[in-house]
Structure 1
Amino acid sequence: MYGELQTLGRAVKQVQYRQHRALERHLAAVGTTLAQWDALRAISNARGASARELAATTFQSEQAFGTLANRLVAQGLVERRQGHGRRIEHHLTPTGERVLKEGHRVADEVLASCFAALSAADRAALLDLLRRVLADEGA
């Protein structure tokens, strides 16, 4: 059927898909989506970042991130501020901070469930292996 590498690639994709579906379902309970929560997380981790920087961090095109950021601004979760020159910076509002915090709680619960079949040592080993694959990306 498939070779070992294709089977491995498909398994990684299946785990990611299952994780994303579970996160989408549970984040809806706190009034957000996975894409929105991920954007809030990126903005929190890089306060004052530009749309270009945030698009790269969230694996989106600049246009897609701009559309998402517009929705977050309209929902009162993010505000944009004039930065140096033409730069527009993104910051969380207090409501955005609250949604992010609730999303972290939900994500911790969902991810604990997704990886429940693995011991702490197995999870650490998996993380190490994935980091090694990512580090080799430029090779």
Structure 2
Amino acid sequence: MLSDVPDLTAHLGYWLRQVSNHVSHAFARKLAAKDVTVAEWALMRVLYGEQPTSPSRLAEHMGLTRGAVTKLADRLIAKGLIARQANTSDGRAQTLELTAKGEGFVPELAALADQNESECFAHMPDDDRKALERILRDAVARFGITAIATE
């Protein structure tokens, strides 16, 4: 019977996905204009202000495979935004760090994140925005989500 199947819009997950897609795609378009992907931005932001970091540590922190971090790093190295160095204590291991160009670029990209946030949520009263953030942070904690969203 057709009436036994709820409409898509009857699910909170539907609305979360609608908003998430809109916010994510708007931010991805802003980054694309700067020739950076969301995943590249996330890796750069994790490296910002940090000492040289191993790809395996980045993978663990970001919830990505080491191979995915290596592919992201290769793209960012080609753009001159990060550098790969031999680890000073273990010549076989490598570390990644932002270049001066990358270090200077992160605040510009962070401003785009702030702009996107404002464009998407400035219409909300501050109390509502804070409540939504609290609810979403609680859900993230409850589900044990530790990976940085990059898609």
Q: Same fold (TM over 0.5)?
A: yes
Superposition pairs of residues 12-91 of structure 1, within 5 angstroms: 12-44=16-48, 46-83=50-87, 84-85=89-90, 86-91=92-97
User: Are the counterparts in 1 of residues 86 and 93 from structure 2 also a CA contact under 8 Å?
Assistant: yes
2:136 matched to 1:135?
no
Q: Is there any run of 5+ residues in structure 2 with no aligned partner, and where? A: 1-5, 145-151
For 1:98, which of 104, 123, 142 is the aligned residue? 104
TM-score, with normalisation over the residues of structure 1? Answer: 0.84
User: Are the counterparts in 1 of residues 82 and 102 from structure 2 also a CA contact under 8 Å?
Assistant: yes
Structure showing the higher helix proportion among its residues: 1
CA RMSD between the two structures: 2.2
How many residues matched? 137
Change (3 A) 1:93 1:120: same
Secondary structure (helix, strand or coil) at the match of 1:30 reads coil
User: Are the counterparts in 2 of residues 30 and 99 from structure 1 also a CA contact under 8 Å?
Assistant: no
Change (3 A) 1:112 1:128: same
Cα distance in 2 for partners of 1:47, 1:16 equals: 32
Deviation at 1:3, TM superposition (A): 8.4
Change (3 A) 1:2 1:60: farther
Structure of greater Rg = 2
Change (3 A) 1:59 1:2: farther
TM-score, with normalisation over the residues of structure 2? Answer: 0.78
